[in-house]
A and B are shown apart, each in its own frame.
Chain A
Amino acid sequence: MLRGIKIHSYKESTRHEKIEGLPFPEKVTLYASQHIGAHSRIIVKKNEQVRRGQAVAQPQGRCSSYLHASIGGKVQDITVLPRPDGLVCEAVVIAREGDQAIQLMEPVKDITPESIRSRVSEAGIVGMGGAGFPASVKLDPPKPVQTAFLNACECEPYLTADERLLIEDAKKVVEGFRLVKKAVGAEKGIIGIEDDKKHAIGVLRQVTGSSGDIELSVLPKVYPQGYEKMLITAVTGKEVPSGGLPHDVGVSVHNVGTCLAVYEAVNEGKPLIERVLTLAGPQLIDSVNIRVSIGTGIREIIDYYQVIRTASSRILIGGPMMGFAVDDIDSAVMKTTSGILVDNAGKTVEHPCSGCGKCVDVCPMGLVPQRLNRFYDGKDYAGMKSEGLLDCMECGCCAYICPCGVPLTYKFKAGKRKL
């Protein structure tokens, strides 16, 4: 049984509302690094006219990605800009002009693992759950895979983008998942979903119904059920070895948004130029799921909706448990941006650890955060490593539960950097 935490989901404000489209932004900022791996190489010049859907950057090496213009217009600038997470990288800034019809690729006719992979690469698809691993690489596992997983857990509070995609576009997502399953060479497909997503479960049952190749696995709602190792163990009982990856136990796990993108790339020839994300939080008048062009400025999105701003306003990218706080509102949406949350920073007072052991009870990895914390305070980073620091997935359960307000997760991230 997954340890983890029972946490209020805050999903009710968005899970019943249709995904809204946003008007095309005046300009987009396309970072050359939206993924894990080598930066993409920019292939357009300043002042060049680009069409919506045209490639503006190419992969450098195998673990890299294509990047496409998400709006049509003129390349206004090619410069170094900060991403929402604060890292700076080269970016293409496009100003909107004229026609916004998408320049599509030819749909793939002969569907084989190779043709799926090469199309996924051409479409610039990366893991859209947050990690941003280039999908074409993930679809070519180094070890044989028997089971493909569609991860529909979306266990982070507030986020309902995947849930809405499943309700509104289940057929395409499931078809995309079938393509993924074919590409990785898996015989079996399993959709893992948490039991609070009643509507989505109903739709999925209908869509997968009689096919038999895809199984639905309804899991209890516990954070972090959607972390891939936890999902694999909950469904199969197998544990991914320490330091290993899912393919070490014959499994490959994929995100809902990614599967939709794979479907659209293969069957419609559409590159990854837009995504659905959840805009939510206590500081918003209306919480919504929106479909936005990649590269839309965070400021533009927030200004489009009504937001209450106060001195302690905080903008988070991703979920509130593993996401990060933005300090530059002029950074832009990336392929991996699953949510934008606007909330108020609460005050946390830090006390010395009281040794209550609540962190041990909630750690899904079986670590003893209290002990890691002691080693960190004593600057014994090697000691942290021998206590399993590298197995920490930074889910935040320990820091969430800590009554003493010790920023445990932050300290473990810092400890990893010291190694």
Chain B
Amino acid sequence: MEKKEKITRLTVGPAPHLKSSLTIEKMMWWTAAALLLPSAGGVYFFGMKALLLIVSCSAAALLFDAAGQYLRGLRVQLTDGSAAVTGILVALILPPSFPVWAAVLGTAFSILIVKHVFGGLGKNIFNPALMGRAFLTAAFPVLITTYSINCRTLPGYDAKMSGAGTEAVTGATPLSGIKFENAVYSGDSHLNFFLGQKKGSTGETSGILILAGFIILLANKVIDWRLSASYFMAIFGFSGALWLTDPVANVDPFLYMTLGGILLGGVFMVTDPVTTPVTGRGKWIFGIGAGILTVVIRNFSGYPEGVMFSIILMNSVTPLINRMTRPRIYGT
């Protein structure tokens, strides 16, 4: 038989031969882009210290991620953006006055212990940024509750007009004000708090910037809306029910949602793909569970805030939720 010469070399590969254009790199960089909004808010309200914190934590995260990959004998690559996202998140959930050296230590814990010791990208059980903060909460209980940088007021805001509003800018965070000092916030606090004029962690204060990031993430299909929706709905419902039973002792649900880390957590933490369930029903259960736990910890424990522990607790039962909510296989 005659031998035929091959004219072209053909590329082969397994089906399917079409791929969706949404890649994990794009998802991570969209997340980083969305995080720039609350980061910018942090810099506006708390000044250059906030910027220093964000830059050091993200640089440290990239460095520790490279070190972690190197120590595990992997090829070092940082282009997936996941370490940068973790670094920025760590900075955003720390008080702006938090010492940089301690923040870098927390980032090291996030990346080296929570991420790499558990098997690296995609294998970690707990949200690295939240666990980093939990570590710092245990290690530096005073520093983590010290909010010594005053919040910059919004243009046109008259401090003499509202007493409690001023307190939120220079005194304690509104959350500990409510918890420990029986502070009551007047009607105009809703808008000011939502815009970001209050004390709090670096990136958590401005609801409007976080929600703008939320829209970016939803529009690009980076996050699963069910996780955020169930989380917000559970908190709104639960806190609303508490407010209805006792409007004096409890904050109304609208103000409640703007306080602390609920919006930041609901947009950037509850939606972490790695540490949350893969099934549709599982995502609802996760969000509702984390929402209820957030309110329970906030209102009925010694801590003023419950976002961090609620999400970490739900992270720990994610494998169980996955197992229990498997979809029914067709034809069975």
- Chain A residues close to B by CB (< 8 Å): 5, 7, 77, 79, 157, 229, 233, 239-244, 309, 311-316, 320-327, 329-330, 341, 343, 345-346, 348-349, 351-357, 359-361, 363-368, 370-371, 388, 391, 394, 396-397, 399-405, 407, 409-410, 413
Contact = CB atoms under 8 A, between A and B. Distances in A.
Given A352-B120, A400-B18, A409-B14, A357 B277 contact: yes
A309 to B, nearest CB: 5
B1 interface: yes
B215 to A, nearest CB: 19
Contact of A355 (B19, B25, B273): B273
A360 B327 contact: yes
Contact of B11 (A314, A349, A368): A314
A53 B277 CA distance: 59
Interface stretch (B94-102, B246-254, B278-286): B278-286
Interface stretch (B2-10, B132-140, B237-245): B2-10
B276 interface: yes
B12 A355 contact: no
Nearest to A244: B331
B278 A399 contact: no
12 contacts: A309-B8, A316-B17, A320-B17, A326-B10, A329-B10, A351-B121, A355-B276, A355-B278, A360-B327, A361-B280, A403-B20, A405-B24
Contacts, number: 170
Contact of A366 (B7, B122, B330): B330
A346 B18 CA distance: 9
B224 interface: yes
A391 B329 contact: yes
A354 B273 contact: yes
Contacts of B332: 241-242, 388, 391
A37 B26 CA distance: 46
A367 B9 CA distance: 37
Contacts of A399: 15-16, 19
B122 A410 contact: no
Contacts of B22: 401, 403
Contacts of A355: 122, 273-276, 278
Interface string B49-79: 0000000000000000000000000000000
B86 to A, nearest CB: 13
B17 A323 contact: yes
A242 B18 contact: no
Contact of A329 (B7, B120, B224, B273): B7
B17 A371 contact: no
A357 B283 contact: yes
Given A320-B15, A354-B27, A368-B327, 8 more contacts: A241-B331, A321-B17, A346-B19, A351-B121, A352-B123, A354-B273, A356-B278, A413-B14
Given A351-B24, A352-B121, A355-B122, A229 B331 contact: yes
Nearest to B283: A357
A337 B332 CA distance: 32
Contacts of B9: 311
Contacts of B10: 313-315, 325-327, 329
A230 to B, nearest CB: 9
Contacts of A391: 329-332
Interface residues of B, number: 47
Contacts of A361: 280
B82 to A, nearest CB: 8
Interface in B259-312: 273-280, 282-283
Interface string B182-226: 000000000000000000000000000000000000000000100
B273 A366 contact: no
B328 interface: yes
Contacts of B7: 309, 329
A370 B27 contact: no
Contacts of A397: 16
B280 A343 contact: no
B118 to A, nearest CB: 12
B273 A357 contact: yes
A28 B25 CA distance: 47
Contacts of B11: 311-314, 325, 345
Interface string B310-326: 00000000000010001
A403 B330 contact: no
A368 B326 CA distance: 7
Contact of A409 (B4, B16, B277, B282): B16
Contacts of A403: 20, 22-24, 26-27
Contacts of A324: 15
A7 B18 contact: yes
A352 B69 CA distance: 14
B326 A320 contact: no
Contact of B1 (A79, A243, A323, A345): A79
B156 interface: no
Contacts of A313: 8, 10-11
A322 B224 contact: no
A371 B8 contact: no
Given A325-B11, A356-B273, A405 B279 contact: no
A233 B274 CA distance: 33
Contacts of B25: 349
B141 interface: no
B329 A365 contact: yes
Given A313-B10, A351-B121, A400-B19, A77 B330 contact: no
B13 interface: yes
Contacts of A5: 20
B80 interface: yes
Contacts of A401: 20, 22
B6 to A, nearest CB: 7
Contact of B15 (A79, A349, A410): A410
Contacts of B18: 7, 157, 320-321, 396, 400
Nearest to B122: A352
B23 A396 contact: no
Given A354-B273, A364-B330, A321 B16 contact: yes
Given A313-B8, A329-B10, A403-B20, A396 B120 contact: no
Nearest to B11: A345
